[in-house]
Structures are given as C-alpha cells and as structure tokens.
Amino acid sequence: MYQKITILNKQEHANLRFKKISNMEHTAETANVPLTLAEFFSACKSQPVLFVKNGDDTLPTALLGLKNDENLFLTSQKSWLPAEYCPFFLKRYPFIFVRAQDKLTLAYDSECVSANAEEGESVFGENGEQTEFITKIMDFMNKYQVDSEVTATFGRLMDELELFEPFEVSLSVGPNKYQISDFKVISEKKFNELPMEKKSMLIEKGFYNIIVAHLISLSNIEKLAVLQSMRLAETKNA
C-alpha cells in the first residue's frame, strides 16, 4: 500500500499540501491489516480478527479477503463498503511513523495522489510551524502508537498463557477453492481450562471482553465467502 515512504521536514516540504482522498483504491490489494485492541469491538462485527506472528510478537490482524492480493471490503467504485468497519491502519494513510535516530518520526507516502503543492491542507505554516492539520494527524498517530504497544502486550500475555492455536479453513466459493492458513486464534477450550486466578487476572485487565470479541469475529469467515461470491459475479458481469 505504501509505495515511497518519505520523512516530513519543513525544509523540503514547506509547500506540501494534502487533498482529501476521494476513495480507498489504495487498499484494493491489501488482504489483511494490523488491528489494535481499541478496535476489536467495532472490527468484530465486520471482519475475522486473527493473529499472526511478527518477530517475537503475536499480533491481531483484520482479514479483508480470501486471496493474498484482494480486499473484499471495497465497492466497485472503490469506496469502503457501507456500515463495515475500516481499520485505523488504513485510515491513517498516507501517513506513517518511522524510526529515525532512535525516535519515531512522521512520514508519508510521497506517491500518494493526495500529496501536492497547490490545494488541500498545508503541513507547515509560513514560519515553518506545523499546522493544526498536521497536529491532529500527530495526535492520531501518537494514540495509535500507544494502542499498538498495549496490543503487543496483550499478544505476549496470550503467548505466555499458551492460549493460541493454529487456524486453518478451506472454503469453496462457486468453482473456486480458498485456503486461510498461517494464522492463529485464541482457543476457547484452553481459556476455559485456565486456573481461576488467571481468568480473574484477564478480567481485571479488561482482556476477557477482548477475547470474546475475537471469538465472535470468527463467524465473519462466512461473510468473506459471501463477499467473494459477489466479487466473482461482478467480475463476470463486467
């Protein structure tokens, strides 16, 4: 999704502006995206929330499609499907934090169609100060970073309690077969077998409801099959 990540600085980007992105076409080939715990209650009503290994961490991801390069949550006009949850990871585009000189720095995708020098919201003011627009972006990104760190802590605790198990599903949609694999889910059976003190600890931390939201989200696998069927029909009739 990100093509050319460029760190923002007032010397090179004094005249940089951003127009509002008119559609979500940039997400068309994104089949899964990271989620934070703060998103679980909304995401669980729209997408399957699974877990993937990322280095030493096991982190949640929203599954958006059955193929590695297809997002099923877009309309034919490349808008996000009405009433379906759009993850923060996608909403933050074209901005992203990168680590430079041991600190997180705001960057953007310089290939993004919204970036220009003529119209839209300015990044820097006349005296090189950051504008209200970019201040709001920074506030959003900082909150997202904090949420991401809490999410990583949750994943490490689930690993410590040995609650994860592999998740694989085979689906048939019309003449096509799809395989969902290389993901993990929290085992309801393993959770139920935990000692009461560990269950109480998860409840106190607010993690029990997170686990329930995750388990509820798995029913959305069937929704992906329906969306895939609709996408195949659109392609056939195009």
Q: What is the pLDDT of residue 238?
A: 64
Facing residues of 186 across strands?
164
pLDDT tens per residue, range 131-142: 999 999 999 999
Question: What residue ranges in 141-232 does DSSP mark as E strands?
Answer: 164-173, 176-186
Classified as helix, coil or strand, 60 is strand
pLDDT above 70: percentage of residues in the chain: 100
Residue 184 confidence (pLDDT) above 80: yes
pLDDT tens per residue, range 54-105: 999 999 999 999 999 999 999 999 999 999 999 999 999 999 999 988 889 9
Residue 219 confidence (pLDDT) above 80: yes
Q: What is the pLDDT of residue 95?
A: 96
Chain centre to alpha carbon of residue 177: 25
Residue with the two structure tokens 């992906």: 224
In the predicted model, what is the mean pLDDT of the chain? 95
Classified as helix, coil or strand, 234 is helix
